[in-house]
Amino acid sequence: MRAVFAALALAVAFAMPHMALAQGDPASGAKAYYICYNCHSLEPGVHLTGPSLAGLWGKKAGSVEGFTRYSQALQAAEFAWTEQTLDAWFKDPKALVPRSTMILRNMEHAGVRANLIAFLKIALGPGGRAEVVAQGLLSDEHAMGRVPKALRDAAPDRQVTGIRHCGDAYVVSTADGAETLFWERNLHFKTDAGDRGPRPGHPVLVEIGSVGDRASVVFASPAELALAVEHTCP
């Protein structure tokens, strides 16, 4: 029933174009966009947690080429990204697309949404990344998004040469000859098969946070995970 009401509300919005949204301020919207750049890039083809937003204005939802992690609900959605649909999406993603996995916070106020949409109308248009930088709305770094650091040429103290498990600890050996101990719950195993990931057979140790007791070992493929850990104690 909730899905039916959401569809009816969306149909009403499309059928009444004279009900324009409040005019937003792109400069204020650029500040609101900082909650988006952790997961999205304005650079074409650069996909992070979410898809690249380049050229998204007016494009069908769930259709960015090269992005494979859309929810089934968003892939099945039959609408394009416009002022009206973005406003509904920011207000309540699950009302617009039931079973959507998107989570948004602090978007309750219509003025905040209007400002962000005014910014996105520029950023998601043709040449959007260059345009928002040229207008001084966003730095080039933030327009690019929080792209992970390249791991192909990691320093010796980051190049993992061995991993041992003993008791409740992992012992990670690196190419500089050092060994670092981690509580087993504090060491994460990840993969990155992209061009910024490690070279095959050369996993990399990446620290998490500033305390130094948490880290990830990033492998080039899932196949390497099964061969990674020795279960030995001295």
Instruction: For residue 150, tell me if it sits in a domain.
Output: no
Final residue in a domain of this structure, among 95, 124, 144? 144
- Find the largest Cα–Cα distance for the chain: 75
Instruction: Indicate the Cα dihedral angle 105, 208, 155, 37, nearest 10°.
Output: 0
User: What is the reported pTM?
Assistant: 0.79
Instruction: State the residue for tokens 């899905």.
Output: 3
For residues 6 and 44, membership in a common domain is answered with yes
CA distances from 7 to 85, 197, 209, 217, 229 (A): 12, 41, 43, 44, 51
For residues 64 and 130, membership in a common domain is answered with yes
For residues 161 and 225, membership in a common domain is answered with yes
Predicted pLDDT at 231? 81
The vertex-108 CA angle with 75 and 134, nearest 5°, equals 75
For residues 124 and 63, membership in a common domain is answered with yes
What is the full per-residue pLDDT of the chain (234 aa) written as tens digits? 444 434 444 444 444 444 456 689 999 999 999 989 999 999 999 999 999 999 999 999 999 999 999 989 999 999 999 999 999 999 999 899 988 888 887 788 899 999 999 999 999 999 999 999 999 999 999 999 999 999 999 999 999 999 999 999 999 999 999 999 999 999 999 999 988 999 999 999 999 876 778 999 999 999 998 878 888 887
Handedness of CA 108, 69, 207, 216 (dihedral sign): positive
How many helices and strands in the chain, by DSSP H and E? Answer: 8, 7
For residues 208 and 187, membership in a common domain is answered with yes
Instruction: For residue 149, tell me if it sits in a domain.
Output: no
The residue type found at 136 is G
Predicted pLDDT at 232? 81
CB 13 within 8 A of CB 95: no
Where in the sequence is the domain holding 140, given as residue range(s)? 2-144
